[in-house]
Every structure is written in structure tokens, then in C-alpha cells.
Amino acid sequence: MDIDPSKILVRYNVQKEKAQTPEEMAAEMYPSAEPARTIAVAIFEGEEDDVVEALEKALASGADPVKLIDDTLMPGMDIVTKLYDQGVIFLPNVMMSADAMLEGIDLCKEKAGTSAKAKGKIVCHVAEGDVHDIGKTIVAALLRAAGYDVVDLGRDVPVDEVIAAVKKENPMMLTGTALMTTTMYAFKEINDRLLESGIKIPFQCGGGAVNQDFVVTYELGVYGEEAADAAKMADAILSGKGLAQLKEHFHKH
């Protein structure tokens, strides 16, 4: 009997599957517009100098530093996140990309500056035990760009340190970021400790692990989905909105 091998290969789906390298998979996701494309490639490759060079070029030709965060750095990191979630790339790659992304945010933050007189003070932090600080860094940069004085406590911040900072700085609002389901419970503890001390400031929480269902379980919590929601909420507080109105406005019903 004559056997056509190509039929067998098709049947077992061997012929059709062409293995792709991580670089090829990333290339399919790069944005087409410049400088977003060059920056996304540089973030994926963890080339900090190339990220900074492309950003400096864009800034020199008049690009807005805050828009550069949203339109170029975030899409770049999105690709890294997707490929990591799919198991295509691994932690060392992600660390190099994260560093390149943070270098870019630092530059944009520096260029955005702040207005002469701050609109109010905000304390930002990443939950105790959690080192994922890219989201928090974006939140802090956007708040500064919107004219707020930001006290950035950094990442893996012990609950005691958050409480001490709030007592010292007397901010209009506190933000928390958590990327891990194990670390986000620190937010409840912070909520309880603030209430025990009679402090009732809005506590906006976000980050990959956090969702609205979790945040509504503690009194001061307001969920923030996007980094840009932090400045929106601060503006809403300045316009006189109280905790209940903030939840009404920022939560999905």
C-alpha cells in the first residue's frame, strides 16, 4: 500500500505547527507606530540605554512625558507580561525588562516636573512582602505630573512604616499596590490600624492581584483599576467628594 507521509503529518498536526522563538512572538505584538515600536523592542530586550535614547529623542521633538509613559512604556511592558504569563520568557528576562521600563519612567517623571504649588500630599506604597513596583511607580509619576506632592515609600513596605508615614505626613489620600494574592492582605491591616488611630483618609488600592471585590471588604478602601485613576480620585477628593461618593464613582455596580 502507498502511504503519503504528508497526510500523516497533517493528521498529527506536525506539519502545521512551526515553533516560534520568543523574539518572533514579541515581534508580532510590537506596536507599529514610532517611537512606541523602538521602545517596546528595547524593553523586551532589556536595553535600558536604547529606551532612554528613544525617549530623549521623542522628548526633544516635543512629546509629552506623561503621554510617553502611557503610549510607549506601558505597551512595551504589556508584551513582556503576556509572554511571561504564557511561559515563553522567564524571570531573568522580566527583571531586565522591568529595569529598562523603570529607567524610562524615571526619565519621564523627571521631565514632567511638578507644578509650583502642590495640590495636596499623597503617600504611595507597595504592600509588605511584595517587590512589584512598576505599577506603583507609574501611579506616583502620574500623580506628580498632575501636581500632587507624592511621598513614595517604595516597595515591600512594612505596615508599621505605612502607618508611621501617614501619621507624619498627614496626606489627603494613601495608595497601595499589590501584585500577589499573598501580600494584598496587608491593606486590611493598614485599614484597621488607621481606623484605630481615628484616621479616615481614602485608601486607593490597585495592582494585578487586587480587585474591587477584595477592596470593598475594608472600610477605607477604594479600588483603582488604572494608574490614571489615582490622579482622578485625588481631584475628586479636592472637589469635596467623601469616601462614600468616591466608592460610588470609582466602583462598578
CA 75 to chain centre: 11
CA distances in angstroms from 39 to 69, 80, 82, 85, listed in the order given: 11, 12, 17, 21
Nearest distance, CB of residue 76 and ligand B12, angstroms: 10
| Measured distance CA(6)–CA(15) in Å, rounded | 8
Spatial contact of 66 and 108, defined as CB atoms under 8 Å apart: yes
Nearest distance, CB of residue 228 and ligand B12, angstroms: 7
User: In the set 105, 122, 139, 162, which binds ligand B12 (CB under 6 A)?
Assistant: 139
- Residue 65 makes contact with ligand B12 by CB under 6 A: no
Residues numbered 95-114 forming contacts with ligand B12, rule: CB under 6 A: 95, 98
- Residue 46 makes contact with ligand B12 by CB under 6 A: no
Element (H, E) at 149: strand 149-152
Q: Return the range that interacts with ligand B12 (CB under 6 A); candidates 16-24, 43-51, 78-86, 114-122.
A: 78-86
- Residue 158 makes contact with ligand B12 by CB under 6 A: no
User: In the set 131, 164, 216, 238, which binds ligand B12 (CB under 6 A)?
Assistant: 131
Q: Return the range that interacts with ligand B12 (CB under 6 A); candidates 6-14, 132-140, 190-198, 238-246.
A: 132-140
| Measured distance CA(216)–CA(244) in Å, rounded | 11
| Measured distance CA(35)–CA(68) in Å, rounded | 9
Q: Return the range that interacts with ligand B12 (CB under 6 A); candidates 36-44, 52-60, 81-89, 104-112.
A: 81-89
- Residue 94 makes contact with ligand B12 by CB under 6 A: yes
| Measured distance CA(94)–CA(85) in Å, rounded | 11
Nearest distance, CB of residue 139 and ligand B12, angstroms: 5
| Measured distance CA(106)–CA(139) in Å, rounded | 12
Compute φ and ψ for 113, nearest 5 degrees.
60, -170
DSSP code at position 150 = E
- Residue 120 makes contact with ligand B12 by CB under 6 A: no
Q: Return the range that interacts with ligand B12 (CB under 6 A); candidates 28-36, 40-48, 60-68, 207-215.
A: 207-215
CB of 7 or CB of 67, closer to ligand B12: 67
Spatial contact of 157 and 132, defined as CB atoms under 8 Å apart: no
Between 186-196 and 159-169, two packed helices, what is the crossing angle to 10 degrees? 40
Give the interface with ligand B12 as residue ranges (CB under 6 A).
77, 81, 84-85, 91, 94-95, 98, 129-136, 138-139, 175, 177, 179-182, 204, 206-209, 224, 226-227, 229-230
